[in-house]
Amino acid sequence: MRLWHKVAIGSAAGILLAGAAIFALDAADKAFPPPLEKADVVSAEVLDADGQLLRAFATSEGRWRLKTTVADVDPQFLRMLIAYEDQRFYDHDGVDAWALGRAATQFIRNGRIVSGASTLSMQVARLIEPRAGRSLSAKLLQLVRAVQIERRLSKEQILDLYLTHAPYGGNLEGVRAASLAYFGKEPRRLTVAEAALLVALPQLPERRRPDRNLKAAQEARKRVLERVAVAEAVGDGEAERAEAVAIPPRRLQLPALAAHVAEAALRKEPDVLKHQTTLKKQVQQGLESVARAAAMKLGPKLSLAMVMADAQTGAIVGEVGSADYFDASRSGWIDMTRVNRSPGSTLKPFIYGLAFEQGLVSQETIIEDRPADFFGYRPRNFDMSYQGDVTVREALQLSLNVPAVKLLDAVGPSRLLVRFRRAEVRPVLPPNETPGLAIGLGGIGITLKDLVQLYTALANRGQPARLGDGITGQPAELDGEALLEPVAVWNVADILSGVIPPAGAPQRGIAYKTGTSYGYRDAWSVGYDGRYVLGVWVGRPDNSAVPGLTGYGTAAPILFEAFAKSGISTTPLPRPPAGAVRIAQSELPISQRRFALNASGLLVASGREPAPQIVYPPEGAHIDLGAGAGDLSPLMLKLQGGRAPFRWLANGKPLPDLSRRRTQQWLPDGGGYSKLTVIDSAGRAASVGVFID
């Protein structure tokens, strides 16, 4: 047989054998694929609005394994890792034949292992499919798995798996978990010394743990820095300088912020691994540090809660549900931002706002602070004393109870609750009770979150914002009209911004109000600037009395400290709107110089006629005038009090004629919300809002 023929036959046989081998390998590869699905088991993470880690949860096996990608780590660390562990990582297909040969030769010459030959791909294979022993069969399986992994994943994806699963001692896995535990930071920016330690630890993670064996960790880092390839990767002289840097001797706790929000996020979407929130990490850290310090001073069994929200968007940027989530003595697991409690005097600004809006008073109007009887209800001031004649401004700043109840009696408790519904806030009344005057002093239940939602209207020119849950994105806007008119809101803010800060607190340019519930059970303080609202509650979760607990003495100092520690710069309060001005008492119209009620409950100004009051239609009424059929009927308007003649306005537009009668007819232009106002000859006004159906 000719030579060329033998060569042809041999070549054909070789090709057939190679093809058969490849076919066999492909069949085996498909039949026994690498268990890459195990690599997907990582810790759930809760992130702030900017993607920063707030809290991580251990895996079901108790491992801190944070998903990490190449983009998450310092590029210099990657260069050092490849230079030390696998210099030909980008050139081989899972197995480095040159390194295998070198390792085998060294073993034969020295009778022991001098250097390893594991590639990063082989290490990934071992990490996702660990073996108890270090037998030859286990090593061969690693080789095969490394080739299989290389056939399925890109080099960057293989690095991602290593960065996520590399062991760092104890229950730490992955570069992010190790960097957070040993350096207290994400691995995006690492020093040479930090990167070298993170390269060194995975080879013998338990023996080299800095918190258990600092000397072994130092020696391991030194070996990394002395490797020629590593020294070349970090630059001239950097390795020598890094050797002199101290290694952290302690393991830090991984971020554990926003416990209640994080738990709620996991309950809401248990299968999601990354939960984005609206919180800001800097704000959350500041609020929680203040809460921890305050809890130490408050004493046992007391808890506190805080909510900080953007008044324009409604996004919650910081939330503390309790003084300490893990403190059973304080019932720390209860999220006190969502529990209905008595708000004390914190609703008074809205009573005054309604009074300003209806023209009943101005800031310098004189109002009496003396014992009063409202059909059997006898409110008393917190200190059991009375101030006599005071201005409305002083009455709100001093949080006097009798003037607030007098104004609430004039504007009507039901009207106040109707305004709250515009902000989608529905306080809880005592069982089987209708709205009464006691709601002005805390005789109602409301959550801290809802109270902050109400105050967003005061920080946002009267327009409330719907607060989110802290988990989902920006909440939808409220569809209703403003809670209060801008001029009334400005008057309230002008007064509250003049309240003296608690002792030792700096003047931050915020408006704030405090409140203490009956029996010293709840202490409140709510403050706002031109952008953010912060609410603070202090008390016992079991609703027990706490002697000496007050809004001004207990909650207000926490409010000011939390504003300072939040890291948010103060935004100036809104500028006065058109028509907003503080008028001296001597320049007020006669009708606003003194506020008083006669025996019939009607407003009397300076001993003259009662102020006008619209008795029909009532505030918030839905009236069927046939708007749906397109044939509207006129609406009868009725009032009492006031001095004729009267001018009626519908949605700001005056009706054609002045009237001396206390009844009037009005024909609406169409259906929907309308505001009706009547002004008497003394310039006193009353308004109601109705819905035409």
| Catalytically active residues, by annotation | 85, 345
Cα 208 versus chain centre, distance:
39
Residue-wise DSSP of 414-447: HHHHHHHHHTT--PBPPTT----GGGGGT-SBB-
Residue-wise DSSP of 211-258: TT-HHHHHHHHHHHHHSHHHHHHH-TTHHHHHHTSPPP-SPPPPPB--
| Nearest partner of 490 among 372, 339, 362, judged by Cα | 362
8 A C-beta contact, residue 56 and residue 164: no
Residue 251, φ and ψ in degrees, nearest 5: -95, 130
Residue-wise DSSP of 633-651: PPEEEEEESS-SSBEEEET
* Residues with Cβ within 8 Å of residue 381, at least 6 apart in sequence: 369, 387, 400, 401, 402
Please give the Cα distance from 111 to 196 (Å, whole number): 30
Residue 691, φ and ψ in degrees, nearest 5: -115, 125
The CA-atom distances, in angstroms, between 238 and each of 179, 195, 294, 484, 617 are 20, 12, 45, 64, 82
**Left (φ > 0), alpha (ψ -120 to 50) or beta: where does 230 sit?**
alpha
26 CB burial (10 A radius; 0-12, 13-18, 19+)? exposed
Half-sphere exposure of 192 (CA within 13 A, CB side): 20
User: What is the number of other CB atoms lying within 10 angstroms of the CB of residue 531?
Assistant: 19
Q: Could you report how far apart the first and last alpha carbons of the chain are, in Å?
A: 107
- Location of structure tokens 């020093």: 191
* Residues with Cβ within 8 Å of residue 134, at least 6 apart in sequence: none
Please give the Cα distance from 404 to 395 (Å, whole number): 8
Q: Which two tokens stand for residue 307?
A: 């909510």
User: What is the number of other CB atoms lying within 10 angstroms of the CB of residue 404?
Assistant: 25
- Location of structure tokens 């996991």: 266
| Nearest partner of 119 among 93, 153, 152, judged by Cα | 93
Q: Which two tokens stand for residue 687?
A: 């308004």
Please give the Cα distance from 260 to 335 (Å, whole number): 6
Please give the Cα distance from 443 to 436 (Å, whole number): 8
